[in-house]
Amino acid sequence: MNKSKIISTKAAAIGAACVLSLGAYAETSPLRYHVIAFYTGKDETAHISFVEEAKRWFARMAADHGFSFESTTNWERLKLESLSRFEVVLFLDTRPDAPVQR
């Protein structure tokens, strides 16, 4: 076996071990942060389509990267006591209508 094949094989083995270790860490570690996304999801077809794609994408990223993600159309949850457990707040397709929520 030539030297470059040995190095390549060792590099592949080390890479696989790293990936497996990270996967095990992600499964046993607590969630790093919590994300909530507010949306309306009505009226404009482009906004509705974007919201549906964004919800699926964020859910997949949350599962892959160890954070929680939830989405809601309940704008009443946009209060300090409700948001205190979240580190990230997203507005997917609009902003809050109520001045107090802005």
pLDDT interval class at 4 (50, 70, 90) = very low
Domain boundaries, the chain: 1-30, 31-101
Structure-model confidence comparison of residues 26 and 54, the more confident one: 54
Sheet containing 34-38, strands listed edge to edge, beginning at the edge strand earlier in sequence: 68-72, 34-38, 88-91
Backbone angles phi, psi at 35, to 5 degrees: -120, 135
- Dig out the tokens for 40 from the structure: 């309306």
Q: Which of 23, 22, 31 is nearest to 66 (CA)?
A: 31
User: How is domain 31-101 classified at the CATH fold level?
Assistant: Rossmann fold (3.40.50)
Q: What percentage of the chain carries pLDDT values higher than 70?
A: 72
In angstroms, the CA 95 to CA 72 distance is: 13
39-64: average pLDDT: 94
Q: How many whole angstroms separate alpha carbon 25 and alpha carbon 10?
A: 22
**Tens digit of each residue's pLDDT (9 = 90 or more) over 18-43:** 434 444 444 555 778 999 999 999 88
